[in-house]
Amino acid sequence: MSKIIPFDQLARAQHLNFLEHKRRDYREREDYLARLRRLLFQIEGQMRQTEVQQLEVFLQAARHFQVNLELPIQGDRLAVQRAFTDNLFLAGLSEFFAGRLSAEEFLEKIDLIKEQQAKK
């Protein structure tokens, strides 16, 4: 003979099953997010390290050409962007590295920059 299961028990079992299923879904997504956050943190660290190395290239070029160059403190990205738009040497060197200026054109620009700095 078949046993009759009361509706309350069926409803409760359905609710429990729903909650367990949602907990598994949530945990899976939470674990995935945690892995992505770790990966993002590693990538950000590598990006910052590379940005510092790029800035060092600019500083080496400034020292080589004896151009006074002061960069903002690290981490102030807005100030660094401003420096690259306001400073003629940085703007010119960026254009040279991007291939928009030849080495000859950039050397001419450096001479102009040095003349301006000598006048100050």
pLDDT level of residue 37 (50, 70, 90 thresholds): very high
Please tell me whether the overall predicted TM-score, pTM, comes out greater than 0.75 for this model: no
pLDDT at 17: 97
pLDDT at 1: 54
Average pLDDT over residues 43-67: 93
What are the domain boundaries of the chain?
7-119
Q: How far apart are CA 105 and CA 99, in angstroms?
A: 11
Q: How far apart are CA 47 and CA 41, in angstroms?
A: 10
- Check: CB of residue 95 under 8 Å from CB of residue 106: yes
- Check: CB of residue 36 under 8 Å from CB of residue 14: no
Torsion of CA 109, 113, 114, 117, to 10 degrees: 180
